Amino acid sequence: MNYTVLIPARMASTRLPGKPLADLNGVPMVVRVAQRALLSSAARVVVACDSAEIMTACEQHGITALLTRSDHASGSDRLAEACSLLGLPDEHIVVNVQGDEPLIGPALIDEVAFLLQKQPLASMGTAAHAIESIAEFINPNVVKVVLDAQYLALYFSRAPISWWRDGFAAGLAGLGQATPLPDPKPLRHVGIYSYRAGFLRLFPTLTPAPMEVTEALEQLRAQWHGHRIAVHVTQEAPGPGVDTAQDLERVRGLL
């Protein structure tokens, strides 16, 4: 399958400024991400960045980079511009690998790309894995997703869904962290996406959805406008991403 990995990267990260160039044992983080993506089956891997500094760092490590505008509101907007600059045809598959996922699995990238081949009615693909703890289930920073029988997303939320009636009725505080979650287990959304290039160019022009604004989840815009999102359920939880200085130290240790 011929597909392209695009990695959005911007210097103005709120919680960790200059994050794409954060040192991970001698290699800038965005380069680490691209190196992982190059182990997938992608035809090419391109960093879509907003600064000459990132361009230079990528070039020094043999990574293809593309300079995009600095005023994009989101990574999706940046990738839409990259699709146009690269001249990708509407049906070409693009996988958005976040620039702060230096431990991303190459096999997961392939699986998310292949989703759109297997699910022709879907405009987007993404991934999820089973939640193992109550703490994770009720954490609003952990995004949950509910699927239908065809592994198409019904809804994404920061709330604990599907609602565990018996568990909440008993009082989660009294259950303890060792209490098993219901079967089948709720699913945690993994922030990797595949698109057809035509839809990726369309996405920034769609009106933001009310539920997208409420939940602060951009993928809900696609659903609100009637687009389906296919989901690959992976058996292994992806490696940790980097949002804070503490995350950075943790990943350095793992590397």
Q: What is the pLDDT of residue 178?
A: 60
Range of the domain at 166: 3-254
Q: What is the pLDDT of residue 244?
A: 77
Q: How many domains does the chain have?
A: 1
For each of the chain's 255 residues, which pLDDT tens digit applies?
A: 789 999 998 876 666 777 888 888 888 889 999 999 999 999 999 999 888 899 999 999 999 999 887 777 777 888 898 999 999 999 999 999 988 888 889 999 999 999 998 998 899 999 999 998 888 888 888 899 999 999 999 999 999 998 888 777 766 655 555 667 878 899 999 989 999 999 999 998 999 999 999 999 999 999 999 999 999 999 887 777 777 777 777 877 877
Can you give the pTM of this predicted structure? 0.88
CB 131 within 8 A of CB 122: no
What would the 3-class secondary structure string for the chain be? CCEEEEEEECCCCCCCCCHHHCEECCEEHHHHHHHHHCCCCCCEEEEEECCHHHHHHHHHCCCEEEECCCCCCCHHHHHHHHHHHHCCCCCCEEEECCCCCCCCCHHHHHHHHHHHHHCCCEEEEEEEEECCCHHHHHCCCCCEEEECCCCEEEEEECCCCCCCHHHHHHCHHHHCCCCCCCCCCCEEEEEEEEEEHHHHHHHHHCCCCHHHHHHCCCHHHHHHCCCEEEEEECCCCCCCCCCCHHHHHHHHHHC
Residue 83: give its domain's CATH number. 3.90.550.10
Q: What is the pLDDT of residue 144?
A: 95
Q: What is the pLDDT of residue 172?
A: 61
Q: What is the pLDDT of residue 139?
A: 87
